[in-house]
Chain A
Amino acid sequence: MMSVLVMFIALAICGVLQLHLPGFALFGQAKPPLLLSIVMYYALRRERASMYTSAVLAGLLHDALSPVPLGFSSCAYAVVGACVTRYRKILLTESAITQSFFGGIGAGVATLIVYFLLASQSLVDIPPSRLLLRILGTGFYGILVAPVICLCLWKLDNMLGNIFASKEVEDATGEIESTT
């Protein structure tokens, strides 16, 4: 229950912050991907079900706070989250470098997926050079913000005992994946 509460609070705060943070023209007006960073945290350090839940919720919130049709970002976040979760067993997920790397790559890929979905409905009209700039810009922001968000959420979950609870469940059932 507390895990879900932490997820909801993190999503609400990051959603509003992402809305207010500036998008520089130099980065194709890309915004720092705070919501995607939450998905990255759950993909790298928590159970798979939590990752999918956070991906769907973060995507819906992202779409609700912009003119993107509902569900587009959820698909993109879920795909990125699933890819990261697939390879996390062979990675040092506690490392800030890993988080930065996946934050950057994930943000770029998510931007590309959302672009294709929007372009398929003729909702955006930007030249390829600006799309590339935007992907690079989001990636750059992702590199910066993903480790920070991961650290904050990890500390918060630790403080509230969510990690411990998760580990207990894992020990009892041996079915839920957890990197704790």
Chain B
Amino acid sequence: MQGRTYVIYGMLLMAVLVFLNLPVPVSLRLKAGVQDNLDPFQRLISIVESKARGLAWYVAGAWHADGTRSDLLSENMELQRELWQLKREVAEDHDFLKEMLGMVQEDKRRLIMCEVMTRGSASGWWQIVRLDRGFADGVETNLAVITSRGLVGRTVEVSRRSSEVLLITDTTSRVACKLRRSGAFGILQGSGVSVSGKHALDVLYSVEPARMRFIRADSEHSEGEQVYTSGLGGIYPAGIPVGRIKSMALDDSRLYLSADVVPSADLRGLRFVFVVAPPEPVKEEEAQ
């Protein structure tokens, strides 16, 4: 019996050592497998949460309002998607005209609409939301995630039917940005959450202004100036609104400016988001 117990200890120790030394792709595949297997339970809880919300609305005397609100939300998201498509078409016409003038620009990205299933991972170390779409729906790692208002974050782990998004307000997030008016570049870093004041009891994402660093010291700036993604770095496409400048000052080195940026997207109330996926490969026949 004692021997059997030692065999169990040995196997467990071996298992931990193996898992600690797994190559990253294998580790990610394993994680994706576990997440896929637990996916039905997660969806079940999401449905229960949604029903509970509906019940809360009912208790508050808004039975009909909830249904209407859900319909309106879906319709609103659909309209936003159409608006994006229209904008893209306009942009395509614009590109065509530019191309005629000898300038080439290609951006035919797709938008994948996703619903937020959970907020925060099991550990809570990072500011993460889990979406209900995975690689089966065309989501990949390191894709930008947006709402109609602006940038939300990027996908970090993707399984078959779900994906995790690291928010721009997380302290480990970095986004290459650009000021609209002056065109000065900088790096936006999240500041995490506020643990005091009116947001102390927020369930998640009481957003402190994110910090934009390494802005050229001689660049012109003004309060409320819009910040966009610069497209540098390769993850976030250029031109996505990120936020607005709240304040700006010289940093400790006195060589660069750093600014507090209030995110444009409402990260506290996220429900539907879009993953900006690369364009679908053009079939040979279509290309011809």
Question: A: which residues have CB within 8 A of B?
Answer: 12-13, 15-20, 22-26, 28-31, 35, 48-49, 52-53, 56, 59-75, 78, 114, 118, 123-126, 130, 133-134, 173, 175-176
Contacts and interface: CB of A to CB of B under 8 A. Distances in A.
B31 A63 contact: yes
Nearest to B193: A25
B248 interface: no
Nearest to A118: B125
Contacts of A12: 38, 41
20 contacts: A19-B118, A23-B124, A24-B201, A25-B194, A25-B200, A26-B201, A29-B124, A29-B193, A48-B5, A56-B12, A61-B122, A64-B31, A65-B35, A66-B124, A69-B27, A70-B31, A114-B123, A125-B172, A126-B171, A134-B124
Interface residues of B, number: 52
Given A24-B202, A24-B203, A70-B30, A133 B126 contact: no
Contacts of A17: 45
Given A16-B38, A22-B119, A71-B19, 18 more contacts: A12-B41, A20-B42, A23-B124, A25-B200, A26-B200, A29-B193, A31-B124, A56-B16, A62-B122, A64-B34, A66-B125, A66-B126, A66-B128, A67-B156, A114-B125, A124-B126, A126-B125, A175-B1
The majority secondary structure among interface residues of chain A is: helix
A48 to B, nearest CB: 7
B132 interface: no
Contacts of A125: 171-172
Which 7 pairs across A and B sit closest by C-beta, in order of nearness? A66-B121, A64-B34, A71-B20, A65-B122, A71-B19, A66-B123, A22-B203
Contact of A65 (B27, B34, B172): B34
B124 A30 contact: yes
Contacts of B99: none
A118 B121 CA distance: 15
